[in-house]
């Protein structure tokens, strides 16, 4: 199936689609089933499991870092909850713990392993892989670099380590504008998210060439401006906040565009009482917990990242108990990728 309207195909339940311009190795297969985000087990069982994890954590000198999209019961036992830049920083600066359980997806845990190689980094579910990160191959980067030889290449952290090793500097959605602005010259190569690339181009006024020219997040492209228009009729006073991985049409509807943690900050500081939220549904748990008197409405109720949701309390427990699913990055790749991550921390 050709990738003309990925969000539509996804909504219709396509399980496999491919862009004819992409490498066959970049072919992306998606889980399009709606994975329920309800908690497995009774309240008592969850508390029991959570207690056992906390006990294991103390015995093994481990910490749990969890992304803002994780299931509520994982968020509740995490030592630190955050967006990708915050979690990378935490992982890099961690001194005491011997084990870091990184409850998120592959590229985030890989970054932790690169930034703090002394620690044992565990990804509770090895299959929790970000499809966007799979969209950018090393071959595609090399092709783009040969077409634009003197142009710096900035890669979103939502990439695999081997791709990061090929770039000049990394960025996250929280600092992409700052990173691109700080580079000399008025043109950059940027991948893999086309929507973020276009957002950065609008914000910086530079020419941002997307690599590949079709990269996207299958969850964020589900948000449609029509859904927000309808919700605005229902909640006319609501503030709209969306992630820059949403399409430009959706971004145009927003009062605030930012990373997941930047959205949490905006919700806390804003005078608005109701918020229409354009990012993965897991963030609602944190938003509601931090702001009990405010109302949060998901802009599209099917906006679930199936990969983020693969992590469950049971899997966190088993991975910590058996110290399994250790994330490792080959040394030469880690060394090069580290340079690109360090450069990002230097610039922001
Ligand atoms: P944040 O860095 O904003 O948390 O985003 C990560 C991500 O994967 C968004 O889909
Ligand atoms: Fe990747 Fe999108 Fe899931 Fe974020 S929400 S991890 S970009 S698929």
Tens digits of pLDDT across the chain (348 residues) = 344 444 445 444 444 444 444 443 333 334 333 444 455 677 777 789 999 999 999 999 999 999 999 999 999 999 999 999 999 999 999 999 999 999 999 999 999 999 999 999 999 999 999 999 999 999 999 999 999 999 999 999 999 999 999 999 999 999 999 999 999 999 999 999 999 999 999 999 999 999 999 999 999 999 999 999 999 999 999 999 999 999 999 999 999 999 999 999 999 999 999 999 999 999 999 999 999 999 999 999 999 999 999 999 999 999 999 999 999 999 999 999 999 999 999 999
Residue whose CA is at the smallest distance from ligand 1 atom 2: 84
Sign of torsion, CA 314 318 320 324?
negative
142 contacts: CB under 8 Å, gap ≥ 6: 166
* Mutational pocket test of ligand 2: of 217, 263, 303, the residue with most ligand atoms within 8 Å of the beta carbon: 217
**Residue 121, H or E segment:** strand 120-122
Report the SS3 class of residue 215: coil
Q: Which of 28, 29, 53 is nearest to 312 (CA)?
A: 53
From the alpha carbon of 132, which atom of ligand 2 is closest?
Answer: 1
From the alpha carbon of 308, which atom of ligand 1 is closest?
Answer: 8
From the alpha carbon of 245, which atom of ligand 2 is closest?
Answer: 7
**DSSP per residue over 5-39, as a string?**
SHHHHHHHT--EEB-TTS-GGG-EE---S----PP
Rounded distance from Cα 157 to ligand 1 centre (Å): 9
For ligand 2, is residue 261 a contact (CB within 6 Å)? no
Kindly calculate the radius of gyration of the chain based on its CA atoms and give it in whole angstroms: 20
Are 10 and 24 in contact by the 8 Å Cβ rule? The answer is no
Measured from CB, residues less than 6 Å from any atom of ligand 1 are 68, 83-84, 158, 172-173, 217, 243, 245, 259-260
pTM (two decimals): 0.90
* Mutational pocket test of ligand 1: of 260, 309, 348, the residue with most ligand atoms within 8 Å of the beta carbon: 260
Measured CA to CA in angstroms, residue 341 lies from 155, 156, 280 at distances of: 10, 10, 25
For ligand 2, is residue 280 a contact (CB within 6 Å)? yes
């Amino acid at each position: 199936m050709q990738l003309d309207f990925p969000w539509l195909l996804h909504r219709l339940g396509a399980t496999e689609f491919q862009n004819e311009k992409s490498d066959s190795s970049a072919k992306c297969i998606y889980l399009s089933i709606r994975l329920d985000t309800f908690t497995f087990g009774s309240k008592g069982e969850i508390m029991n499991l959570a207690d056992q994890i906390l006990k294991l954590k103390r015995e093994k000198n481990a910490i749990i870092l969890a992304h803002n999209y994780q299931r509520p019961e994982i968020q509740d036992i995490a030592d630190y909850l955050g967006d990708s830049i915050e979690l990378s920083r935490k992982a890099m600066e961690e001194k005491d713990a011997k084990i870091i359980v990184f409850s998120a997806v592959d590229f985030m845990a890989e970054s932790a392993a690169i930034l703090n190689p002394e620690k044992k980094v565990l990804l509770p579910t090895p299959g929790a892989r970000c499809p966007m990160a799979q969209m950018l191959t090393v071959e595609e980067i090399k092709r783009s670099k040969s077409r634009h030889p003197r142009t710096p290449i900035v890669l979103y952290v939502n990439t695999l380590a081997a791709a990061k090793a090929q770039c000049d500097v990394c960025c996250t959605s929280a600092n992409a504008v700052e990173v691109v602005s700080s580079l000399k010259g008025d043109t950059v190569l940027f991948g893999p998210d086309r929507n973020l690339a276009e957002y950065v181009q609008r914000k910086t006024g530079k020419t941002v060439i997307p690599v590949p020219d079709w990269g996207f997040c299958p969850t964020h492209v589900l948000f449609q401006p029509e859904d927000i228009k309808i919700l605005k009729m229902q909640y006319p006073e609501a503030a709209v906040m969306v992630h820059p991985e949403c399409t430009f049409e959706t971004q145009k509807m927003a009062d605030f565009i930012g990373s997941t943690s930047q959205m949490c900050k905006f919700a806390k500081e804003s005078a608005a009482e109701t918020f229409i939220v354009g990012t993965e549904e897991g963030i609602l748990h944190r938003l509601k917990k931090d702001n009990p008197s405010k109302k949060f409405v998901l802009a599209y109720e099917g906006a679930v990242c199936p990969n983020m949701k693969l992590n469950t309390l049971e899997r966190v427990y088993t991975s910590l108990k058996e110290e399994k699913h250790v994330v490792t990055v080959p040394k030469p790749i880690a060394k090069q990728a580290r340079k690109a991550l360090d450069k990002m921390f230097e610039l922001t």
